[in-house]
Amino acid sequence: MTTATSSRPRIKPLLVALAALLACGGLTACQDDTDIKASPATASATATIPAGLESFYNQKVSWYACDKKGMGEAKSGKDTGFTCAKVKVPLDYDNPGGETIEIAVKKRAAGGESVGSLFINPGGPGGSGIELVESAGSYFSKNLTSSYDVVGFDPRGVGASTAVDCLTDAELDAERAGANDPETPSATATQERAQKMGEACASKTSPAGLLDHIDTISAAKDLDILRAVDGQQTLTYLGFSYGTYLGATYAELFPANTGRMVLDGAVDPSLSAEELALGQAKGFEASLRAYVQNCQSSKLGCPLSGDVDSGVSQVREFLESTKTAPLPTSDSKRPLTYDLAVYGVLGSMYQTQLWPSLTLALSQAMGKVGKPDGSALLAIADAVSSRQSDGTYSNNGAEALMAVNCLDYPVQGDNASWEENAKAVNEASPTFGSQLLYPDAYCQGWGHTSSRKREKITASGAAPILVVGTTGDPATPYAWSQALADQLESGQLLTWKGNGHTAYGRSNDCVKKAVDTYLLNGTMPDKGLTC
């Protein structure tokens, strides 16, 4: 299963479930807040409404008090602190008078006097902003949540919005477990598999044209409508991972409407799908080495002996063994297969807060604390895939991921070049390469493709944009953040020397203060700041 993702996992439920050996978990709520005075961003003029879209920008949205979880209406008279709405947008912006779809929006009221709305996106593509805003108190500083109404939204094709639908929960379980993996991976086999998946999605997704219109440019246009109906003259935005690409695309399309924007864990918009896969292969392999080094130097009873090279080899040998001998788990119907084991380890590379849990899971799976058992590693793989304990998935991120990517990344090359690229990916990451192969071949088979070019984004005329890069980020390598900051006319890079995916909310007070200060009063950090 192709899993070249760049989303920001919600790790708090996992840390609780596994009783991780960390008192804080690195979440923002555990950090001290230095009080920063908030001031609203100023707009020079009323934002212009694009021709033909007046009815969407001027629509009257019915906000209602909603539950803390999901989009359900709160019980009469109950103040949950959340309001929800559905906003209509065109399915096809080239035909605004045609079919419409809905974007789900959820707002968390500011804890104090509000200076406006902060729109957020967790990444993906396919990540749910609805789920992220529900956890805003854990992921964002008290300074931000006191001063801003935090607005989460599910982009088109995702979650509670008009969404892609491909597989039942049981079918997705089988897909993740590798039940549909070809005996010998190849570009041809990937195309055949993707064609079947595309046909399944087309048969279940409504409206029929949705799969041709869930690209990021359309999502950015939706975001401008959300800004307008929320009464904001400019967009204040914090995007993580793929959310940086959505934010940068917005700034490119609507520079005059762009307010304070922070892009954390950036995607380089000029790269092809194959270049992204190779970059992630290198990033995840480097992150594994950092984990092994950390494991071997900790006092948690690391199951990996010897030096780092030896430890990495032991991880690979263990993973390889699950191909022929899947491990039993607490669910007799769900053994730990190779694909699940690989993703349990790979998923742990996103957040260093997961490393102690991974150490315990590997100790269990490798038989260092009794008979080999894959339960803990399966729990990690499930958590980073949004699978809940009852067997349902909290969102459709896995289905939306490739649907969006195949519209954003034009197919380049042919079978011969894809096989060469696959060889390079496997060489760069012998451990995780199997999860990152053949993105262009997949889209070729998927059938809903794009002819748009991958180009640099300059966002000429936009307000200052703060790009945050983590030196040891496996999913969005630091070089991508450097590239985006250089491309953006008003971009500035903030560096965190650390490991894991993204920085804000899981790094240190230096990063938090720099981001908060910009979002709250518009003051950018010193150029070249490294935390």
Q: What share of the chain is helix, strand, coil (3-state, %, to 5)?
A: 40, 15, 45
Query: Dihedral of CA 411/483/509/356: which sign?
Result: positive
Residue 390: CB atoms within 10 Å: 6
pLDDT for position 17: 42
Do 297 and 445 meet the contact criterion of CB atoms below 8 Å apart? no
pLDDT for position 419: 98
pLDDT for position 465: 99
Distance CA 311, CA 303 (A): 9
- Candidate list 241, 287, 348, 385, residue with the active-site label: 241
pLDDT for position 77: 72
Residue given tokens 């790979």 in the structure block: 346
- Candidate list 147, 473, 490, 507, residue with the active-site label: 473
Query: Tens of pLDDT along the chain (531 residues)?
Result: 344 545 655 544 444 344 332 222 333 333 445 566 666 665 545 788 999 999 999 999 999 999 999 999 998 878 899 999 999 999 999 999 999 999 999 999 999 999 999 999 999 999 999 999 999 999 999 999 999 999 999 999 999 999 999 999 999 999 999 998 988 999 999 999 999 999 999 999 999 899 999 999 999 999 999 999 999 999 999 999 999 999 999 999 999 999 999 999 999 999 999 999 999 999 999 999 999 999 999 978 999 999 999 999 999 999 999 999 999 999 999 999 999 999 999 999 999 999 999 999 999 999 999 999 999 999 999 999 999 999 999 999 999 999 999 999 999 999 999 999 999 999 999 999 999 999 999 999 999 998 888 999 999 999 999 999 999 999 999 999 999 999 999 999 999 999 999 999 988 999 999 999 999 999 999 999 999
Q: Which residues pair with 85 in a beta bridge?
A: 105
- Candidate list 161, 501, 507, 516, residue with the active-site label: 501
Report strand pairing: 149-154 vs 117-121.
parallel
Distance CA 200, CA 189 (A): 17
Q: How many helices (H) and strands (E) does the chain have?
A: 19, 9
Residue limits of CATH 3.40.50.1820 in the chain: 53-163+210-271+456-521
DSSP secondary structure, 141-166, as one string: -HHHHHHSEEEEEE-TBSTTSSB---
Do 264 and 503 meet the contact criterion of CB atoms below 8 Å apart? yes
Task: For residue 154, indicate whether it is catalytic.
Answer: no
CA 130, distance to chain mean position in Å, is 13
Distance CA 121, CA 126 (A): 10
Distance CA 316, CA 211 (A): 37
pLDDT for position 99: 98
State the fold for domain 53-163+210-271+456-521: Rossmann fold (3.40.50)
Task: For residue 473, indicate whether it is catalytic.
Answer: yes
Strands (E), 17-81: 64-65
Q: The sheet that has 117-121: what strands, in order across it?
A: 64-65, 82-90, 100-108, 149-154, 117-121, 235-240, 258-264, 465-472, 491-499
Residue given tokens 């079947």 in the structure block: 196
The residue type at 79: D
Task: For residue 213, indicate whether it is catalytic.
Answer: no
pLDDT for position 15: 44
Angle among Cα 512, 518, 521 to the nearest 5 degrees reads: 120
Task: Name the maximum alpha-carbon separation found in the chain.
Answer: 67
